Amino acid sequence: MIADIVVDLQYGDCGKGKIAHHLLRQGAYTHCLRYNGGCNAGHTIYHKRKKFVTHHIPAGVFFGVRSIIGAGCVVNLEQFFKEIEELETAGIECDGLVKIAKNAHIITDSHLEEENREQEIGTTRRGNGPAYRDKYARRGIRAEMVPALKDYVVDLYEELHDYPAAVILCEGAQGFGLDIDWGDYPYVTSSHCTTAGALLNGIPADAVRKVWGVAKAYETYVGSKKFHGSGEIFNKLQEAGQEYGATTGRPRQCNWTNLCLLDKAIKINGVTDLVINKVDVLRKLDTWSFRLDNREGIAIHLQSEDSWKDYLEFYLPQLRLHFSDNPERI
């Protein structure tokens, strides 16, 4: 078995779907595994000049690759079947390709009702938190218990370990800054968004070949905590980048990339390759800056795109760096 992992190093919305799609187009993968989260995720993918936003279904379906919703995920049945119908209507074959780990858990109506009540901490209101809570309280509903899913359910161990020479792309959801253990608690999601989250789906540590870390040229965040930088430049950044949530449509708060957080995320996730997306947005504004920590005003302002890239390469010398200014490719 060989596994490559795609992990978001910031607060989600960094372009993981695009990178997964790019790698699947380039590589000979047998499986694509979504390893955490639920329909609170929104992965934007451009395939054959068409725009798709997937919430549950892994990117492997765009290339005829077996696409597994893993044990670390929670599934909204209505959204799952709706997404399959939308993909197949658009000409993307899902039959026989999309599977769900039998030990993935189900988001119920009661979970949705609970999360749609007023909350102090921001949420996408998709029922993920209550579903994960019931999973760990050992009173949840597993996919294998749902008759409507009998044609989709697989044993994840058998699917991955009994497959001859499996090559797996592990597609994460949300981001490091939202991880239940490593994120800005309590302003976090309910799942494991790190490389370790992929391993919890039955991937042996020694099978990992590459870890693709994904970040933006700046940071965005959707939620109730104060994150948006002070000054008109951050409003311009929001507009230039069209920063509105793929799942909720809410405006994303914007700030400069925090290099200390990025370095921490790289080290904890064991990143081998770093992709920086949306360089074109900074180019449009001709503004090239980083933060050194979370304090307001502690920032470095560079004079040009070249000096900005040089500084990043100096700060993170151990990585293979890839810069992207296109929504469809690296």
Would you say residue 238 lies in a domain? Answer: yes
Mean pLDDT of the region 273-292: 94
Q: Report how far apart, in Å, the C-alpha atoms of 227 and of each of 12, 117, 285, 293 are.
A: 14, 24, 20, 13
- The residue from 13, 134, 179, 273 that is catalytic is 13
Would you say residue 10 lies in a domain? Answer: yes
Name the residue among 74, 137, 139, 79 with its Cα closest to residue 100. 74
162 has catalytic annotation: no
109 has catalytic annotation: no
- The residue from 43, 55, 56, 192 that is catalytic is 43
Alpha helices (H) in 27-143, listed in sequence order? 77-89, 109-115, 128-136
Would you say residue 51 lies in a domain? Answer: yes
Would you say residue 95 lies in a domain? Answer: yes
Would you say residue 225 lies in a domain? Answer: yes
Task: For residue range 72-97, list pLDDT tens digits in order.
Answer: 999 999 999 999 999 999 999 999 99
> How far is 182 from 1, CA to CA, in rounded Å?
28
Mean pLDDT of the region 25-31: 91
Would you say residue 300 lies in a domain? Answer: yes
Task: For residue range 192-222, list pLDDT tens digits in order.
Answer: 999 999 999 999 999 999 999 999 999 998 8
Q: For the CA atoms of 264, 267, 268, 269, what is the dihedral angle to 10 degrees?
A: 120
Would you say residue 107 lies in a domain? Answer: yes
Full residue range of the structural domain in which residue 307 is found? 2-323
**CATH code for the domain in which residue 138 is found:** 3.40.440.10
Would you say residue 292 lies in a domain? Answer: yes
Number of structural domains the chain divides into: 1
Task: For residue range 138-161, list pLDDT tens digits in order.
Answer: 999 999 999 999 999 999 999 999
| Distance spanning both ends of the chain, measured CA to CA | 26
Task: For residue range 33-75, list pLDDT tens digits in order.
Answer: 999 998 887 888 899 889 999 999 999 999 999 999 999 999 9
